[in-house]
């Protein structure tokens, strides 16, 4: 049986709460029980001291009738079961139960064992001793034995009934019923049990809610998102600004998904470029020869036609469109025959500055304001300066065409300390692109310019950057502009990338573009 992590955590929380609260409640109840018993013992001890104080004068003057009256009066009080005075030999001298007055207890009697079980040297020092016993009816009692020492005032009294050598005259025993105490203990046990159950429920509920909100909810989002990614469905980034381990996991997943998405797009685009490259090479060769014949005959017809012949305009259209077809074929051939870059160490800022000087002379840039923010002393990269210039030229031309009424073009180059990449950006304030257009911007023959473009410029640029071991990405907002981001590795890592690609090329595993 497969249990969800939420169920496991909930069961574990309930069990831990149950065990912890039961242990705590047990200790609390035992403490409560001992506190009540201590209070009962203190009460019995105080009562015995009061009785002894009341009996003191009668004992000094030997007034047995008054002593018996005091014993009987105390024994009749509520909450007192029995009061009696025993000699050290076990004789019951006085008792609130008159029928046991004059009887003698043996040493085996529990009352006598309370004192006789103690060492003789400590019997006098232990002025009070308590015990709990059960009678024949099953009722429990608290018994306190208070020793009656032979003080100087006793053996020096006029009655001279006790010799000075006698250490202890007897014992005062007070028995208190524990019915009320047991009732309090039962009530305390019930309250403790109810409190424990309530505490288990409340603590478990609060803990489960906290765990569900802080752990289970984000984990469920991660599980759902990973399941979607596993079947090829890309999800929106998981929200969460938490500054803990789960927050780190969510951010790592979002980064992983974004990189996987980019990698998948790059793989798909690489496959399309390879297929289109092979197709373009074959189609271009097959179309080029018929186009040459069409153009030749159309030019002959145009040249031989009379100047007033209305067909001359038609011939001119045929010639113009044929030349346009030849231009498309030439671009296809260029696309299919992309050469491997000739790598040298170079400063990307030089490539950017040279490209800007080139486009400044073009008419379509006259209404464009080009600004450059180039970080000085950038690390060198390994690349083909001609191919990289072609990439940035394509981006600048696209930026100018997206701003027919003029606008701003910003070119930046940066490098973060410790990063192996050199970053460049080309942004404009043009019309921008929709998300749908942005998803296909690097695909061959995809264009947003209708008849003005054949949709190969960015595909070629993407292939060049990939050959250099870098990445190219784009962000765009309709009506606000577009920014292209290019990352190129520094010279050492770029060299290793190109060497690996050259090895693949020699082994015949690379795609043909």
Q: Is the pLDDT of residue 81 over 80?
A: yes
Which residue's entry shows tokens 């076990």? 90
472: closest CA among 186, 276, 166, 262?
Answer: 262
Which residue's entry shows tokens 């207890």? 105
Region 400-411: mean pLDDT is 89
List the CATH number of the domain containing 88.
Answer: 3.30.450.20
Q: Is the pLDDT of residue 50 over 70?
A: yes
Query: Quick one: 45 and 121 in the same domain?
Result: yes
Q: In what order do the strands lie in the sheet with 82-87?
A: 92-95, 82-87, 168-177, 140-149, 128-134
Query: Quick one: 349 and 320 in the same domain?
Result: no
User: 325-329, 383-387, 498-502 — which is least confidently predicted?
Assistant: 498-502
Is 257 among the domain residues? Answer: no
Residue 123: predicted pLDDT: 42
Secondary structure percentages of the chain, helix, strand, coil, to 5: 55, 15, 25
Confidence of residue 274 (pLDDT cuts 50, 70, 90): low
Query: Quick one: 411 and 270 in the same domain?
Result: no
Which residue's entry shows tokens 């930046």? 412
Is 49 among the domain residues? Answer: yes
Residue 2: predicted pLDDT: 65
Query: Quick one: 382 and 478 in the same domain?
Result: yes
State how far Cα 418 lies from the chain centre.
Answer: 29
Is 167 among the domain residues? Answer: yes
Is 110 among the domain residues? Answer: yes
For CA atoms 310, 313, 316, 318, give the dihedral sign: negative
392: closest CA among 412, 414, 416?
Answer: 412
Query: Quick one: 24 and 64 in the same domain?
Result: yes
Residue 229: predicted pLDDT: 75
Query: Quick one: 384 and 449 in the same domain?
Result: yes
Region 132-152: mean pLDDT is 79
Residue 498: predicted pLDDT: 39
The answer to whether 207 and 215 have CB atoms below 8 angstroms apart is no
List the CATH number of the domain containing 288.
Answer: 1.10.287.130
Is 191 among the domain residues? Answer: no
Give 427's strand partners.
410, 483
Q: What is the mean pLDDT of the chain?
A: 77
More confident residue, 16 or 235: 16
| Highest mean pLDDT: which range of 141-150, 262-271, 489-498 | 141-150
pLDDT digits (tens, 9 = 90+) for 331-346: 666 665 555 778 899 9
The residue from 143, 163, 184 where one domain ends is 184
Confidence of residue 1 (pLDDT cuts 50, 70, 90): low
Residue 504: predicted pLDDT: 39
Is 256 among the domain residues? Answer: no
Residue 91: predicted pLDDT: 85
Residue 165: predicted pLDDT: 65
Query: Quick one: 139 and 41 in the same domain?
Result: yes
Is 235 among the domain residues? Answer: no
Count of the separate structural domains present in the chain: 3
pLDDT digits (tens, 9 = 90+) for 94-110: 888 888 888 888 766 76
Region 159-166: mean pLDDT is 61
Q: Structural domain of residue 440, as residue ranges?
A: 344-507
The answer to whether 89 and 121 have CB atoms below 8 angstroms apart is no
Query: Quick one: 371 and 327 in the same domain?
Result: no
Alpha-carbon distance values, 465 to 97, 388, 485 (Å): 113, 8, 11
The answer to whether 74 and 144 have CB atoms below 8 angstroms apart is no
Query: Quick one: 167 and 275 in the same domain?
Result: no
Residue 512: predicted pLDDT: 28
Confidence of residue 387 (pLDDT cuts 50, 70, 90): confident
The residue from 184, 203, 238 where one domain ends is 184
Is residue 184 classed as helix, strand or coil in its secondary structure?
helix
Confidence of residue 39 (pLDDT cuts 50, 70, 90): confident
Residue 352: predicted pLDDT: 94
- The angle at the Cα of 415, spanning 414 to 419, to the nearest 5 degrees, equals 150
The residue from 169, 184, 199 where one domain ends is 184
Residue 338: predicted pLDDT: 58
Residue 129: predicted pLDDT: 76
User: 180-184, 354-358, 391-395 — which is least confidently predicted?
Assistant: 180-184
Region 307-315: mean pLDDT is 85
Query: Quick one: 288 and 398 in the same domain?
Result: no
Residue 270: predicted pLDDT: 62
Q: Is the pLDDT of residue 318 over 50?
A: yes
Residue 132: predicted pLDDT: 80
List the CATH number of the domain containing 357.
Answer: 3.30.565.10
Q: What's the CA gap between 125 and 144, in Å, rounded?
A: 15
More confident residue, 416 or 116: 416
User: 49-63, 306-320, 401-415, 421-435 — which is least confidently predicted?
Assistant: 49-63
Q: What's the CA gap between 86 and 146, in Å, rounded?
A: 10
pLDDT digits (tens, 9 = 90+) for 450-462: 555 566 778 788 8
Residue 497: predicted pLDDT: 42
Residue 395: predicted pLDDT: 92
CB count within 10 Å of CB 443 equals 18
Query: Quick one: 141 and 286 in the same domain?
Result: no
Q: What's the CA gap between 189 and 416, in Å, rounded?
A: 69
Pairing of strands 368-374, 381-383: unpaired
Confidence of residue 51 (pLDDT cuts 50, 70, 90): confident
**The pair of three-digit structure tokens given for residue 457, joined into one six-digit string:** 């410029």
Query: Quick one: 145 and 162 in the same domain?
Result: yes
Q: Is the pLDDT of residue 23 over 80?
A: yes
Residue 164: predicted pLDDT: 65
Region 220-239: mean pLDDT is 75
pLDDT digits (tens, 9 = 90+) for 174-191: 888 888 777 877 887 888
- Model pTM score: 0.44
Is 244 among the domain residues? Answer: no
């Amino acid at each position: 049986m497969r249990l969800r992590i939420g169920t496991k955590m909930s069961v574990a929380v309930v069990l831990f709460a149950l065990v912890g609260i039961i242990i705590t409640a047990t200790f609390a109840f035992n403490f409560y029980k001992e506190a009540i018993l201590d209070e009962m013992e203190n009460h019995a001890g105080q009562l015995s001291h009061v009785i002894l104080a009341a009996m003191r004068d009668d004992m000094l003057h030997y007034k047995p009738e008054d002593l018996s009256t005091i014993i009987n009066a105390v024994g009749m009080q509520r909450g007192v079961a029995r009061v009696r005075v025993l000699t050290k030999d076990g004789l019951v001298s006085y008792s609130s139960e008159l029928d046991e007055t004059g009887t003698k207890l043996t040493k085996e009697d529990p009352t006598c064992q309370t004192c006789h079980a103690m060492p003789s040297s400590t019997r006098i020092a232990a002025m009070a001793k308590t015990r709990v016993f059960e009678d024949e009816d099953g009722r429990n009692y608290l018994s306190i034995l208070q020793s009656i020492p032979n003080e100087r005032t006793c053996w020096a009294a006029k009655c001279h009934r006790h010799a000075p050598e006698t250490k202890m005259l007897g014992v005062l025993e007070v028995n208190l019923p524990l019915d009320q105490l047991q009732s309090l203990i039962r009530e305390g046990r019930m309250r403790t049990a109810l409190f424990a159950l309530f505490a288990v429920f409340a603590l478990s509920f609060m803990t489960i809610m906290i765990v569900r909100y802080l752990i289970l909810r984000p984990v469920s989002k991660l599980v759902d998102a990973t399941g979607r990614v596993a079947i090829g469905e890309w999800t929106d980034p998981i929200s969460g600004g938490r500054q803990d381990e789960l927050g780190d996991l969510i951010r790592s997943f979002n980064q992983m998904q974004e990189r996987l998405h980019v990698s998948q797009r790059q793989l798909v685009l690489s496959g399309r470029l390879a297929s289109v490259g092979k197709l373009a090479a074959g189609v271009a060769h097959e179309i080029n020869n018929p186009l040459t014949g069409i153009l030749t005959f159309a030019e002959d017809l145009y040249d031989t036609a009379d100047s007033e012949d209305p067909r001359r305009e038609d011939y001119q259209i045929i010639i113009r469109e044929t030349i346009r077809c030849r231009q498309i074929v030439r671009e296809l051939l260029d696309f299919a025959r992309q050469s491997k870059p000739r790598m040298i160490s170079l400063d990307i800022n030089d490539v950017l500055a040279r490209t800007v000087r080139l486009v400044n002379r073009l008419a379509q840039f006259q209404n464009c304001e080009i600004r450059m923010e180039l970080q000085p002393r950038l690390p060198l990269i390994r690349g083909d300066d001609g191919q990289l210039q072609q990439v940035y030229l394509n981006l600048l031309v696209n930026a100018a065409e997206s701003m027919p009424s003029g606008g701003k073009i910003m070119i930046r180059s940066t490098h973060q300390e410790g990063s192996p990449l050199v970053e460049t950006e080309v942004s404009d304030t043009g019309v921008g692109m929709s998300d749908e257009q942005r998803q296909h911007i690097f695909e061959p023959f995809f264009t947003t310019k209708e008849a003005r473009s054949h949709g190969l410029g960015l595909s070629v640029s993407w292939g060049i950057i990939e050959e250099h071991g870098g990445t190219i990405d784009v962000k765009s907002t309709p009506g606000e502009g577009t920014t292209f981001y290019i990352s190129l590795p520094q010279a050492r890592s770029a060299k290793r990338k190109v060497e690996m690609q050259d090895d693949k090329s020699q082994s015949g595993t690379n795609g043909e573009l």
